[in-house]
Structure 1
Amino acid sequence: MKIGLRTVKTAVSATLSMIVAGSLGLLYPASAGIIAVLSVTNTKKTSLLTGFYRLLSLALATAIAYLCFSILGFNAFAFGVFLLLFIPGAVHFNLSDGIVVSSVLVTQYLIEQDLSWTIIGNEFLLMTIGVGFALLMNLYMPDTEQHLKEDQEVIETMFRKILNNMAAYLNQPNKEKNLFEKCNELKEFIRTGENWAKNHAENQLIFSNHYYIEYFTMRRLQSNRLKDMLRILENITVEPEQVENIQGLLQYTAETFAENNNGQDILDRIDQVYDVYRKKELPKTREEFENRAQLFQFLQLFQSFIEIKAEFAKNQNEK
């Protein structure tokens, strides 16, 4: 049985919350522990926002409970009316996350048959202690930046292999059948990297670093273009001399594919390839024309593939 870091932080924050609430003489100190359990999240930022919204949710719940219990008395019927008003209100103000916790705390007004400032203060202290210790525990988060850098290296290696395979099988009768599978694996790995990047950004409370989110988004867009290129690759059948320049581009891109490559050199080479094709003799038959059109479409997709990286590099330089 494996006990994760979040489980440890949940147990510690709940224990400390109950101890502090009990030492302050608060009613229902166990509630502070339960609130802590529900408030330990995956990132610092979500913990902070969760705590803030739950305090707002409790304020809304207390106001509605005061109205319902004052008019209808402290009974189950009044609590039902409270829920009919509170739940839609919390949803309207985007406080849905605090519905359950705040409703439980409102039942303590009902049990005590009291809505004095003393009991209201008791509930707000329970909430503050619970979310406070949850946030305190979440101030420690393992540094995931090294993990993200390793993911970048893996992704770039996967891109290189696919590009080299595309160069090898371009215009060949026997295509590499598992290139689509490799491309899907690449996209799945990028998706996982994006999730890690979002967690990394949300663990920066003061200075949010969105570089890795933007990086993995860029690679995901490139993987989409890569898949479109593979679909065209399956149908290309032209004279060998017609694909030499594009094969050279793919091989060069695979060799230079890296995080710090802004793609401008490759775009210049693409322009040169366009010039070469413009000077070639026009196709003489319909079949030649269609095949040449497929090759041209492949080159356009490849250009778009590189432009995605070039745009990313430009945006990073402007920041």
Structure 2
Amino acid sequence: MKIGYRTIKTAIGTPIAIWIAQLLGVTNFVSAGILTILCIQPSRKQSFLSAWNRFLACIIASVFSIAFFYFIGYHPIVVGLLLMVFIPVTVLLKITQGIATSTVIILNLYGAHYLDFDFLVDQFLLIVVGIGTGLVMNLYMPSLDRKLKEKQQELEKNFQFVLYEIALYVRNKNIDWDGKEITRIGEILEEANDLVERDKENHLLRSKHIYRDYFKMRTRQFELLQRMLPLVTRLPKKDTISEKIANFFESLSEAVHPGNTAIIYLEKLENLRKEFDEEDLPCSKEEFETRANLFRLLHDIEDYLIVKLKYKESDIVRKKKEMES
């Protein structure tokens, strides 16, 4: 069984909050631990937003409690009436995250059956200690770079496999492939994008995120790859065209990596186009449809490579610049 970072932070932060509240002589000091538990979040951004929403909600809840309990009285029905007014206010102010936290304060004030300045200060300290401890614990967030790198490597292996399977199909009409890598690519992209968003929220001052751009690029390439698959099945069974296409896909499968050598394959693709232009014109409807599918496929492959070309500076161009300098 794996213990996550949120669990560890909760286990550390809760006793710290209770201990600080005890040192300050706060009544209901256990509530500080409850507030800390409620404030542990998966990212720094969510932590700051959560802390602010909960703090504001607690202050509003305290004001409402004073008004309701002082003017109406201490009765369970009054608690219900208070919540009927308080909860819509939090929805209006978009601070619903603070409802659970604020309820702790409301019940503390209700349970005391009295209100004076010292007790209100006591509850304010409780709010600060509980929410503040949760906020401090959330300042540490583990790096997600290793997980993102693993997703990148797994994604590229699956891309390589799909491109190689396409080459096998075009060359030999191999139909043994079950296509599970296509499903897995979709899952990896979804998981990776979730990790990227979480990592972005942990680096509030970072304007760009290299993995975000990378997985965005792969997502677009995946869409094009899915569009190519039906076209591949419509290529001629066996001729010079299909062999050249198979060789191109096989070569492309060996070049799936984080770098950018797309310009090489765009040049190869241009040469393929020139060769196909020199082919005899189609003589039948079937040949015409085959040729049309072929040109659509070439167009999609070109788009696939251009997506990579736009992602980052070409490795080939960069090396030329380095040699020149």
2:173–2:237 CA contact under 8 A, matched in 1: no
Indicate the residue corresponding to 2:161 in structure 1. Answer: 161
Q: How does 1:1-319 map to 2 (within 5 A)?
A: 2-170=2-170, 172-178=172-178, 180-207=179-206, 210-237=209-236, 240-261=239-260, 263-313=262-312
TM-score, length basis structure 2 = 0.85
- Separation in 1 of the partners of 2:217 and 2:92? 35
- Separation in 1 of the partners of 2:261 and 2:114? 66
4+ residue runs over 6 A deviation: none
Unpaired segments of 5 or more residues in structure 2? Answer: 314-325
Shift of 1:193: 2.3
Shift of 1:281: 2.4
1:238–1:292 CA contact under 8 A, matched in 2: no
Indicate the residue corresponding to 1:317 in structure 2. Answer: none
SS of equivalent residue, structure 2 residue 25: coil
Distance verdict in 2 for CA 1:276–1:27, change over 3 Å = same
What is the identity, as a one-letter code, of the residue corresponding to 1:203? N
Q: Which moved more, 1:168-177 or 1:43-52?
A: 168-177
TM-score, length basis structure 1 = 0.87
Distance verdict in 2 for CA 1:235–1:258, change over 3 Å = same
What is the identity, as a one-letter code, of the residue corresponding to 1:17? A
Give aligned pairs, total.
Answer: 313
- Separation in 2 of the partners of 1:6 and 1:237? 56
* Residues 159-208 of structure 1: per-residue CA shift (max 9 Å, x gap): 12221221221164333432x21111122223222233233222224436
What is the identity, as a one-letter code, of the residue corresponding to 1:159? F
Unpaired segments of 5 or more residues in structure 1? Answer: 315-319
Q: Which moved more, 1:281-290 or 1:215-224?
A: 215-224
CA RMSD of aligned residues (A): 2.5
Q: Structure 1 vs Structure 2: percent identity of aligned residues?
A: 29
* Residues 22-71 of structure 1: per-residue CA shift (max 9 Å, x gap): 11111211010011112222223322221121112212323333443344
Shift of 1:135: 2.6
Distance verdict in 2 for CA 1:176–1:222, change over 3 Å = farther
What is the identity, as a one-letter code, of the residue corresponding to 1:185? R
1:64–1:86 CA contact under 8 A, matched in 2: yes
Distance verdict in 2 for CA 1:145–1:3, change over 3 Å = closer
SS of equivalent residue, structure 1 residue 142: coil
